[in-house]
Amino acid sequence: MTGDGAKTGLRLSGVRYGYAGGQGPVLDGIDLEIQPGQVVGVVGANESGKSTLCLVAAGIAPGTIGGRLEGTVRIDDINSSHAKPYELSQRCGILFQNPTTQLSGIAPNVWEEVAFGPRNLSLPLGEVIERVEEALDALGIGALRERDPQRLSGGQSQLVALAAVIALRPRYLVLDEPTSQLDPEGTRLVGDALVRTAQRTGSGILVVEHKTDLLARLTTEVLVLDHGRIALRGPSHDVLADESLERHGVSPPSDVRLRRALTAAGVPIPDLAV
C-alpha cells in the first residue's frame, strides 16, 4: 500500500442517497471503504440498494443522474461531488449488467470501442494505442479486435465493456451484477477475467452479485445490503456462511447449502471439495 494511507481508498462515509423524484432514501447510512488490492462483494435482495450503491460509489449518482446525496464519497484524494464525471471515470470505472447498452453503439470494431474512452480524453494517439492494446491484452480478447461489438456473445460483450473501462486506467472498479444476464459460458468467461484482473492488478474492486458461489471465489470481504443499510459485513467466508443470510434475501453458496442440508439430516459431513 502507500505510505500515506489517509489519501487512498474508495470511501463512502455516512452516505444517504435518494433518486430525484423518488420517495425517500434508497441508501440509508452507508460506511464503506475499499483499498487498492481489495475485492469486496455486495449481496442483498433486489431493491435493497445494490445498484444504487454502485452508482453512488462511481460518482454517477448524483453527478450524472441527479438525486440527493448526504455524506461523502471520496476516491483517493478527491471528493466525488467536486469532480466532473470524466475525472471520476478515470478514478473509478463501472460495469453494468446489460452487456450491450453500455457499449457506445457507434464503433465498427472492438478496437475502436475500447479506444472510445481514451479518445474522449483527447490523449495523444500513441497513448490511445498503447492503452487499447494493453486493455485487450489484460483481458485476453486480442482475437476479437476486428469484430463488430454488436455481434458478440453476452460474455464477450462484457469483456469488451470491461476492457473499455480499464482503458481509462481507474484505480477502482465497480461491477453491478456483471454476469446476471449471461449464459453459463459467459459467466465463466467473465468470472475468470475478474479473478485474473483482481489478482494481477492492485486495483480495488466492488462487485455486486447474486451468485454467491462466484463471490466466494472472487472476494475477500462481503457486505450484505438490506433496505439501504449494511446489515452484515466481514470476511467472505464468514458472511456467506452466516445463518441470517437467507433472512436478508440472499442464497448462500452451494457448499454452505449442502452443509446445512447434511447437518439438518444428521449426516456427518464428508470432504466437499471438488
Residues 227-266 that bind other proteins (CB under 8 A): 246, 249-251, 254-255, 257-258, 261-262, 265
The answer to whether residue 167 forms part of the interface with other proteins (CB under 8 A) is yes
Residue 160 CB neighbours (<10 A): 28
Nearer to other proteins, 31 or 146 (CB): 146
115-144: contacts with other proteins (CB under 8 A): 115-126, 128-131, 133-135, 137-138
35-74: contacts with other proteins (CB under 8 A): 36-37, 44-47, 55, 58, 60, 63-65
Binding mask 74-113 for other proteins (x = CB under 8 A): ----------xxx--xx--xx-xxx--xxxxxx-xx-xx-
The answer to whether residue 5 forms part of the interface with other proteins (CB under 8 A) is no
The answer to whether residue 171 forms part of the interface with other proteins (CB under 8 A) is yes
The answer to whether residue 147 forms part of the interface with other proteins (CB under 8 A) is no
The answer to whether residue 20 forms part of the interface with other proteins (CB under 8 A) is no
The answer to whether residue 11 forms part of the interface with other proteins (CB under 8 A) is no
